[in-house]
Structure 1
Amino acid sequence: MTDIITEKHDNVTLIKINRPEKMNSLDFASNDEMVEAWKEFDRDDTARAAVVIGVGDKAFCAGADLKTYTINFAGRPAPEFRRRYTDGPGFAGITRNMDIGKPIVAAVNGFAISGGFELALACDLRFCTPNAEFALQDVKWGFHACDGGLIRLPRIVGYGNAMEIVLSGDRIGAEHALRIGLVNRIFPPEKLLDETMKYAAMLASRAPLAQRFAKDVMVRTAAMPLDEALKFESRSFYDLGQTEDIQEGTAAFREKREAIFHAR
């Protein structure tokens, strides 16, 4: 059985974590498969957006399979941990050292815990089911999040909300997550994947270079002073203005038709 299933639906790549018997937790081997899946998505010029989901209705991803990540359950990282995840692409492939400019949507069906939560945070948008639960439970066991949770969470939900989640280790439900801006939309379980794929298809129809440039601005200016950030945004817009896509977009607007973008 393949732990990571990749499907191509027109311009949308669907990545499935296929370890439901392990709550879709990732061991070293399945994590390496995720890394390759993301690299292939990034290389594929016809893939304009991605959706990631866990197989089954219990868990999106419950984080790391600790049997392979620790020594004798003592909490000490396995010898290859630093090489793979601190210096490498990070847990689940996109939490560190892999910058993908295309839209990525997490479809959270059930538990998104610790590393699984951090995978969802590394995505651009998060949709979930009413039974979804989110947590960084690390402080209950003597450590803290290490795959972007402490960095991305406050940027998404604000400092106070992030502190509550990080310092308590408690789970929050879907409605709470929606209220604080952690998730964008809630769908019934039977509609989650279809609705997320529809939304991803819409994203895939938009201007890919504009999306890439916009993501780059939002990520890179997060810690900049306002005046410096505004200049960076302006420079990005100027560079975007030199592309064929912006000419196609403005022509389509004048001609009252749908734009056809080629990422040039």
Structure 2
Amino acid sequence: MLKGDVYMSYETIDWQQNGNVVVATLNRPESLNAMNNTMGEELMDSLTRLRDDDSIRVMVLTGAGERSFCAGDDLKERDAGETELSHGPSSVLLGGKTSYHNFDTGKPIIAAVNGYALGGGFELALACDIRIASTNASFGAPEVALGFFPGGGAPLRLPRIMPGSIAMEMLLTGDRFDAETAYRWGLISHLVEQDELLNTATSIAERIASHAPLAVRAVRELAYGTNDMTLSQVQRMSAFSRWIIQQTDDAQEGPRAFVEKRQPEYHGR
């Protein structure tokens, strides 16, 4: 477990920062870390803090306990009518608790998936930049089987991550699939034992956080921003991004540290 100071106190999320890395743990294990309104609001606040705090460069998102990353919406709360849907469609369009359109903070987020990642929990993992999972993880978008619509981005994101026919079968059947299948089809980049999950995720996060933050941001934005561009447009954007980054202090620090045989000290400027 990563050790560090608690950066912010929440009711349903544990927030720990160690250096430039934050571990945010969804903490409703008695409900399989299902997403209620409070957790949704606290998650959005966490993302705002990630975006605005320059001392944080990478977030690891995981779930408390070994049984579940996030089992989706709290259906008991939904049954009681206490969801963003009860406030009309505008709240969903503006980014309800499971729409996850606010995940683009400009900084990498790594999902460390332990146990169930179902429904909104599956979409939560899809919204992250990198996904790793424990061997007991399982994934699924069961909304169609329940008469719901997967409004957190699965129909958009899943076909961009996995082969189209496989993604469509998963979306339309609502079937659950295991971690081995997720690894085979490229949904996750690492498959590890449960006791190695958080260490693996934080190790990757620390490696990313050690790099020049402006360069990391530029590469990430280019990777996401070119899906609908022509090759010539991509080349122009890439050249412009490279020119901008080369003007930064960090771009001078990297080669200097290499020549001086020391670790670079990047400051994001």
TM-score normalised to structure 2 length: 0.90
Q: Helix, strand or coil: the match of 1:106?
A: strand
Does the 8 A contact of 2:62 with 2:113 survive in 1?
yes
Contact 1:101 1:211 in 2 (8 A): no
Q: Tell me by how many angstroms 1:11 deviates.
A: 1.3
Kept after mapping to 2: 8 A contact 1:70/1:78: no
Q: Structure 2 matches for 1:1-264, cutoff 5 A? A: 2-69=11-78, 78-80=85-87, 82-88=89-95, 90-91=96-97, 95-264=100-269
RMSD: 2.0
Pick closer, same or farther for the CA change 1:77–1:205 going to 2, 3 Å.
closer
How many residue pairs match? The answer is 260
- Residue in structure 1 matched with residue 6 of structure 2 by the alignment: none
1:47 Cα deviation from its structure 2 partner: 1.1
Q: 2-side partners of 1:78 and 1:92: how far apart?
A: 11
- Rounded to whole Å, the distance in 1 between the matches of 2:111 and 2:229 is 27
- AA aligned to 1:87 is L
**Unmatched segments (≥5 aa) in structure 2:** 1-9
Q: Are residues 178 and 98 of structure 1, via their aligned partners in 2, closer, same or farther at CA, if it must alter by over 3 Å?
A: closer
**C-alpha distance in 2, partners of 1:81/1:233?**
41
Q: Secondary structure at the match of 2:62?
A: strand
The amino acid of 2:58's aligned partner reads: A
* Cα pair 1:35 1:92 within 8 Å, conserved: no
Q: Match of 1:79, SS?
A: helix
* C-alpha spacing 1:187/1:113, structure 2 compared with 1 (3 Å): same
What percentage of aligned pairs have identical amino acids? 38
Q: Note the residue ranges of structure 1 that are not aligned, 5 or more in a row.
A: none
CA distance 1:98–1:82, shift in 2 (3 Å):
farther
The secondary structure found in structure 2 opposite 1:97 is helix
TM-score by length of 1: 0.91
Deviations 1:221-248 (A, max 9, x none): 1122222222222221121122111111
